[in-house]
Every structure is written in structure tokens, then in C-alpha cells.
Homo-oligomer: A and B are copies of this chain.
Amino acid sequence: MNDMNKVGIIGWGITPFTKEDKRIETVLLDSTKELFKNNPEINQKDIDAVLVSTNHNSKYLSPILSEMAGIQPKIAHSIENLCNSGTNSIVSAYSYIASGLADMVLVTGAERYDSPGSILEWDNSRGEYKHPIFWASIFAKSYKREYSVSDDELAIVSVKNHKQAKDNPNALSNKTYTVDDVLKSKKLTDDIRLLDCSRPCTGSASIILGSEEKTKQYSKNPVWVNGIGQKTTSAGFTKNGSFSSMESTKRAGSMALKMANKKINDIDVAEIHDAFSVCEPIILESLGFSSEGKGMSMIKELHQTNNFKINPRGGLIGSGHPLGATGIAQTIEITQQLQSNADNRQVRGANVGLIHNMSAAATSSTVLVLEK
């Protein structure tokens, strides 16, 4: 990491996740306006790059957002990598700053509830099973069998994350559920019920990253991106090797911790990609928060002690999952946690945070380590 400049988070804006039917341009602008409202000292002229994270099919969205927001950036384009688009865009912003090509980068992620990225249309090996529910179902069956986990136990992920989302004013869900509610919700496959799933929604999240100098200039309470790990193992989930662990998450996690010079035990708070209930214990294990097969024990204990360490904003299950915005919303949550600004969701003494995001059955993963 020689010669690298430090990169920090200067400001953010986020709007409620909903099922609203709005033009993608409007959704993008919503959180960008919120960002400028939250950070009145930032001038549009200071922004060198505008990166748009989305799965929407519309073209040229970065120049369109820039024009609507009064920005004339140098660097401008859209970034797409399914669910992982938001964290990919944050890593790209990091590289523009650390390379010296930009001092301040706006990253805005937005999606509509009917995003085309919600269906995986390319993997012909799946036959008709193009909806992510089918890979989740295979992971659930495999994980439950391998570690003797029951449906009742897995349901706790959904119960916990819905409970935590109640304290997130931007979450799609504001209801709490019991284990019984989860088990009695509509059965979608043998192993997945409706309340086990995150839901696509309309939502937007914006963040500005900056060089060390700009971050110190604009933020009284800076948060730094100190660790980055990314790995793509394949595009088709059947090549993962295991359906009860996630290889790309293991690789991205250890890479990010190494870069930040941290151990997993140093992490005080984390947002992880619980697209489906079963993802949460598997990810905890693949990141090393717990040993293999013990992810559910950790989740149960956190839930019983009302500890918001994992997915304080309610994760994807509680918050909703506007694909291109998710990674940015996760990063905003960890930023708020490290700034002791997370209201009722606050994890006390949070100094080091982690973001885990992934795409398409963990065929690719991104992990970020943030510090204050």
C-alpha cells in the first residue's frame, strides 16, 4: 500500500426505501439533494467525479444526475455489478482519489422496485430457475443439513433484522415479527419463506469521498476507508464448491482486514449482505466472526441481548434492497455508527466497522473496513 493517500468519507444523504413508482433520474436526485442539504459547506464545483451505481437500463445517468445537481465533473459514468454495484463504486471512488485523479467523488446509488437486476437471466445452467430465491433455497437446504440448523433457528435472522429496522427511519419495513410469523409466512420453496427474503425496492443513497486534505477540511468527524477486499470467483453459483460457505467472501474479508491491519475481533459493528436469512450465518462464518456452523449461535445471542452489532440498520431483510443503493446505504450506516450518530441503533464504542456486500449467490464479494 505504498504511496497511497488516505481516503475518507466527507458526507452522505439517504432517503426512505419504498415501493414508489418514480423515474430513476428522480430517485438518483433524491439522495443527492439530501446530501447537499446535510452538507451545506460542500460546493458542487469541488466535485471531480460523479459515479452512479445502478442496474437500471437507462444510459448516461451520471451526466444526467450531474446536470440536475449542478455539477460539472471530470470523471462521470455508471457502474453495474448487480447487488455489489454500490460497494464497487465506492472502491472506484477510492482509487480515483488515491491515484490523485480526483480529490472529491460523489457516489450515488439508486434503483427502482422493478430493477432488471433482480432476475438473473444469464445463467442458462439454471433452467427456469432464474430468481435468486432458487440459489438461496439451495444454500438453505445445504446449510441446514450440514450444521443441523432448523427452520425455527434460521427464522431468527429475519426476526432480529426486522426488529433492528424498526429503529431505521429509512427502512422499507417498520413491522416486527415473531419466529412463528416467519414460519407461517408464504412458503416460496421447500426452504424459503417470504419473510426470509429481502425485497427489491425504490431507494437511493449518496456519499462523498475525499482525499485526506478534503476530508479533514469538510468533516469534523471523519471516517476513513482503511481496508478494501474484493473477489470474483465465477458468475455461476454452482461453481462455488460449497453451498454452506462463501469463498469470495472469505477472500475479500481477509484481504480487507489485512489492508486495514485489523483482526476480525477488532470489528465493532458490521453491515452484511443478508439477501436471505441463510446468508447471515454463512457470511458471519466466512468472514470469521464465528467458526463454521456457529453463525446461528452468534445471531441468537446478539438477538437475545439486543445487541445491534450485525446489521444495525436492519440489513437487507429489514431495510429493503434497492440493488445499486444497498452498498452505499450499508456504508452510510457504518459511517453513522462510527460517528456515534446512529440514534437508537447505536452500537456503543464503535471505532472500527465493516461492510460486506456481494452479488449473485456470493460469486463476487466486496468487504470494506472503516475507522474513525
Residues of A bordering B, CB below 8 Å: 1-5, 25, 50, 55, 57-60, 62-64, 66-67, 72-82, 84-85, 88, 91-92, 94-101, 116-117, 120-122, 228-236, 239, 252, 255, 359-360, 363-364
Contact = CB atoms under 8 A, between A and B. Distances in A.
B72 A232 contact: yes
B81 A63 contact: yes
Nearest to A230: B74
B67 A235 contact: yes
A63 B57 CA distance: 18
Given A60-B81, A60-B122, A78-B81, A67 B239 contact: yes
Given A3-B3, A99-B99, A60 B82 contact: yes
Given A5-B3, A95-B96, A99-B95, A75 B88 contact: yes
Contact of A92 (B50, B59, B92, B97): B92
Given A75-B88, A98-B101, 11 more contacts: A3-B3, A25-B122, A59-B120, A64-B122, A67-B235, A74-B230, A76-B232, A78-B80, A92-B96, A94-B101, A98-B99
27 contacts: A1-B100, A3-B3, A3-B4, A50-B232, A55-B59, A57-B57, A60-B122, A62-B232, A63-B360, A63-B363, A67-B239, A72-B232, A72-B233, A73-B231, A74-B229, A74-B231, A74-B255, A75-B88, A75-B91, A75-B230, A77-B79, A91-B101, A95-B95, A95-B98, A98-B100, A99-B99, A101-B228
Contacts of A4: 3, 99-100
Contact of A364 (B1, B58, B76, B100): B76
Contact of A236 (B67, B229, B252): B67
A62 B82 CA distance: 10
Nearest to A71: B232
Contacts of A235: 60, 63-64, 66-67
A306 B213 CA distance: 51
Given A59-B55, A100-B1, A80 B81 contact: no
A58 B96 CA distance: 26
Contacts of A231: 72-74
A335 B72 CA distance: 30
A231 B100 CA distance: 16
Contact of A79 (B64, B72, B78, B91): B78
Contacts of A122: 25, 58-60, 64
Given A58-B122, A63-B360, A72-B231, A80 B82 contact: no
A2 B78 CA distance: 28
A232 B3 contact: no
Contacts of A97: 99
Contacts of A88: 75-77
B116 A57 contact: yes
Contacts of A255: 74
Contacts of A85: 77
